[in-house]
Amino acid sequence: MKEILMDEYYNKVFGSWIGRVAGDFVGAPVELRDVNYIKRRYGEITYYPKKINLNYVNDDEMYEIIALIALEKYGLDLTAKDIALEWLNLLKFERAVFTAEKVALNNLKAKIFPPQSGIYNNPYYDFIGAQMRADLWGQITPGCPEIAKYYAELDGTISHSGIGIEGEVYVAELISNAFFEKDIRKNIDKSLSFLPNETESHYTHTIKEAITIYEQNPKDFRKARDVLINEHWAKIKKELVDKEPPSETERSSILKGKESEVHVLPNIGIIILSLLYGAEDGKDPLGKSICISAMMGYDTDCNCGNIGAILGAQLGVDKIPSKWKDPLQDTFSTYVKGYEKWKISDLALRVVNIGKLVIKEKCQKNVILIE
């Protein structure tokens, strides 16, 4: 049985959201940029690449805000359809909805609800969207990874299927475990126990491959990234394309093009590499990890955001250096109707209030919250 003090729980949830927002601001300016451009334009990234605009909105977090509001509205036993209906009610700008979420939103408008909404006419079902919105489910289930998995799978069915949902489950597990596990490598391994084995899952295989690549290139994250993308991902991508019908389909065209950089597999590989290289910095593993991830390219805002949320939960807000916290001014903006402006500290409190109920009602055999 694990114990966590209320103050500590809040500190870690607050840290997770600070890490998430800081990661967004590091990753957004280089999103989907070529790695050579990133290196030429920014060199070694060690801080926010651009001056922070507190009115800037990243689309990634709006789904987590909506899920939080749905939890407050429907309670802990909410359904995937409940969350999906709040997408319809609360998403402010459809222009900020992309790939799998865009398909799912159109399906929801046509009254096609989960799990069909995540599958029907959806060539992006295994892209990064579900993984990017995993943080909340880990934050409300500290030390209760099996409950984090339940909620992540529930949410994932709105817009994804297969390994797309595995991505949401895994990141939620990493965050749930981070409240008690201080060693990121142990967390990576522990969280894998909730996924299919590597012979059954490209997702699990990619995580294990990323660990091996790191061990073979302990001092050179750029070389490790090249191996991950140019060898491992290139091989799997070809397999995915070859599974499509002989005629050129929308999905095979997407997988062959620029949009494939938003697929969940290369991006979880980048996340794992970034966490492992960043852990070598004893003073600022969060900052090091999100900066390395930004320099690796692909879907950098999603990756840096997830990394920040994982390590923020591990460290707590008190142990995140001021260089990452102070420029944020405890401020967060979204494209959620009626919830456009937040104090990050207030958002963390609302997450904790839900988490208290989850611990009491669903995690009582695993965790004791001491108020």
Which whole number is the average pLDDT over 318-327? 98
- pLDDT at residue 365, rounded to an integer: 84
Residue type for 180, please? F
- pLDDT at residue 244, rounded to an integer: 85
Q: Are strands 2-5 and 341-343 parallel, antiparallel or unpaired?
A: unpaired
Tokens representing 85 are 């209906």
- pLDDT at residue 59, rounded to an integer: 87
Which whole number is the average pLDDT over 114-119? 98
Tokens 């990121």 label which residue? 184
Q: Which residues make beta-bridge pairs with 127?
A: 263
Q: How confident is the model at residue 123 (pLDDT cuts 50, 70, 90)?
A: very high
- pLDDT at residue 164, rounded to an integer: 98
Which whole number is the average pLDDT over 324-344? 96
Which whole number is the average pLDDT over 338-363? 97
Q: How confident is the model at residue 364 (pLDDT cuts 50, 70, 90)?
A: confident
- pLDDT at residue 246, rounded to an integer: 74
pLDDT tens, residue by residue, 134-180: 999 999 999 999 999 999 999 999 999 999 999 999 999 999 999 99
Tokens representing 287 are 């900052």
Asked if the model's pLDDT at residue 95 lies above 90, the reply is no
**Dihedral pair phi/psi, residue 274, rounded to 5°:** -65, -40
Q: How far is CA 280 from CA 2, 171, 212, 214, 283, in A?
A: 27, 21, 16, 12, 9
- pLDDT at residue 245, rounded to an integer: 82
- pLDDT at residue 259, rounded to an integer: 96
Taking the model in full, what pTM does it have? 0.98
pLDDT tens, residue by residue, 152-165: 999 999 999 999 99
Q: Please state, in angstroms and rounded to a whole number, the distance separating the CA atoms of residues 126 and 105.
A: 16
Tokens 């001021």 label which residue? 322
CB within 8 Å of 365: residues ≥ 6 apart: 1
Q: Please state, in angstroms and rounded to a whole number, the distance separating the CA atoms of residues 296 and 217.
A: 15
For the purposes of burial, counting CB atoms within 10 Å of the CB of 208, is it exposed (0-12), middle (13-18) or buried (19 or more)?
A: middle
Per-residue burial over 238-261, b = 16 or more CB atoms within 10 Å of its CB, e = otherwise: eebbeebeeeeeebbebbeeebbb
Asked if the model's pLDDT at residue 88 lies above 90, the reply is yes
Which CATH architecture best describes the domain 2-370? Orthogonal Bundle (1.10)
Cα–chain-centroid distance for residue 208? 18
- Residue spans per domain, the chain: 2-370
CB within 8 Å of 135: residues ≥ 6 apart: 16, 20, 64, 171, 172, 175, 305, 306, 309
Q: Please state, in angstroms and rounded to a whole number, the distance separating the CA atoms of residues 80 and 6.
A: 29
Asked if the model's pLDDT at residue 98 lies above 90, the reply is yes
Mean pLDDT of the chain: 96
pLDDT tens, residue by residue, 216-249: 999 999 999 999 999 999 999 999 999 888 766 8
Which whole number is the average pLDDT over 107-127? 98
3-state secondary structure the chain: CEEEEHHHHHHHHHHHHHHHHHHHHHHHHHCCCCHHHHHHHHCCCCCCCCCCCCCCCCHHHHHHHHHHHHHHHHCCCCCHHHHHHHHHHHECCHHHCCHHHHHHHHHHHCCCCCCHHHCCCCCCCCECHHHHCCHHHHHCCCCCHHHHHHHHHHHHCCCCCCHHHHHHHHHHHHHHHHCCCCCHHHHHHHHHHHCCCCCCCHHHHHHHHHHHHHHHCCCCHHHHHHHHHHHHHHHHHHHHHHCCCCCCCHHHHHHHCHHHHHEHHHHHHHHHHHHHHHCCCCCCHHHHHHHHHHHHCCCHHHHHHHHHHHHHHHHCHHHCCHHHHHHHCCEEECCECCCCEEEHHHHHHHHHHHHHHHHHHHCCCCEEEEC
- pLDDT at residue 191, rounded to an integer: 98
- pLDDT at residue 75, rounded to an integer: 98
pLDDT tens, residue by residue, 259-318: 999 999 999 999 999 999 999 999 999 999 999 999 999 999 999 999 999 999 999 999
